[in-house]
């Protein structure tokens, strides 16, 4: 992520308990099939639940360089999907 100017060095996985009753989310987006199957299907306040299926790069097998390339590929695909979705939302508001 540093390659694209995003510092995630202090980020960590967080449980649902951290957010329940504290933050209102209107959208829930899962990005891998495992998350789609195992994440809660109901989240308080969520109006729209979406699944964008991307290959899980952590499950990819290959050399270190090949795995890194897979992570970069999936990262870029997710970025493009987010940009497309935001553009669609902007058009819908007009």
What's the token pair of residue 61?
């097998």
Mean pLDDT throughout 23-42?
A: 81
Angle among Cα 49, 52, 55 to the nearest 5 degrees reads 140
By three-state DSSP, how is residue 5 classified? coil
Q: Is the pTM of this model over 0.85?
A: no
Q: Is the pLDDT of residue 38 over 90?
A: no
> 3-state DSSP: the chain helix, strand, coil percent, rounded to 5?
50, 10, 45
Give the tens place of pLDDT for each residue, 58-77: 999 999 999 999 999 999 99
Cα-trace Rg, the chain = 16
Which neighbouring-strand residues pair with 51?
A: 30
């Amino acid at each position: 992520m540093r390659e694209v100017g995003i510092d995630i060095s202090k980020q960590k996985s967080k449980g649902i308990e951290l957010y329940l009753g504290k933050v209102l989310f209107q959208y829930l987006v899962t990005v891998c099939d495992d998350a789609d199957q195992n994440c809660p299907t109901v989240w308080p306040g969520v109006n729209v639940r979406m699944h964008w299926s991307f290959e899980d790069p952590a499950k990819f097998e290959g050399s270190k360089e090949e795995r890194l390339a897979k992570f970069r590929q999936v990262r870029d695909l997710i970025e493009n999907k987010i940009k497309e979705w935001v553009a669609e939302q902007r058009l819908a508001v007009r």
